[in-house]
Amino acid sequence: MKEIHIINGPNLNLLGRRQPEIYGSQTFEAYFATLQAAFPQVRLHYFQSNHEGALLDYIHEHGFRADGFVLNAGAYTHTSIALADAIAGVKTPVIEVHISNVYARESFRHHSFIAAVCKGAIVGLGLRGYALAITALLDE
């Protein structure tokens, strides 16, 4: 059974609680149950942290045996060379996901430090982006 980890970065624990016009009204925990039902053939894991180092530790810990990471690094996408180095340093393929269309937002959200070390990116399709990323990883 393939093992895929969904990793959410800072502030994504607030999903469904504020700013529904940008991020929707569903909590990630509720959506995760939908994903588990949609992909019964996959061992799905979910990790969220507001701490850069905790995200790095998680990637190091699982990045040599997991079959794929679906990573929404939140604002660390636009700031973290350390996260890019961690992704480049492990074997597991990573798909970058953003719920909102970052290119239709402030210019500081247009640059991703992790894009170049990820397999691909899915941007602006809401929570559906996570399911699309899992489908892409299963095609690997």
CA separation for the pair 134, 50 (Å, rounded):
23
76 annotated active-site: no
DSSP-derived pairing of the beta strands 120-123 and 68-72: unpaired
2 touching ligand CA2, by CB under 6 A: no
Q: Report which secondary-structure segment, H or E, holds 97.
A: strand 94-98
CA separation for the pair 121, 111 (Å, rounded):
13
Q: Estimate the crossing angle of helix 28-38 against helix 128-138, to 10 degrees.
A: 40
Smaller CB separation from ligand CA2, 30 or 64: 30
Q: Residue 21: how many CB atoms within 10 A of its CB?
A: 8
98 annotated active-site: yes
Among 48, 49, 72, 80, binds ligand CA2 (CB under 6 A): 72
Among 5, 23, 35, 42, binds ligand CA2 (CB under 6 A): 23
| Least distance from ligand CA2 to the Cβ atom of residue 41, Å | 26
**Selected catalytic residue, list 5, 23, 31, 130:** 23
| Least distance from ligand CA2 to the Cβ atom of residue 36, Å | 20
Smaller CB separation from ligand CA2, 65 or 111: 111
* 134 contacts 70 by C-beta, under 8 angstroms: yes
14 touching ligand CA2, by CB under 6 A: yes
Amino acid identity at 21: E
- The residues carrying an active-site annotation are 23, 98
Residues near ligand CA2 (CB under 6 A) are 11-12, 14-15, 18-19, 23, 72, 74-75, 77, 98-100, 102, 109
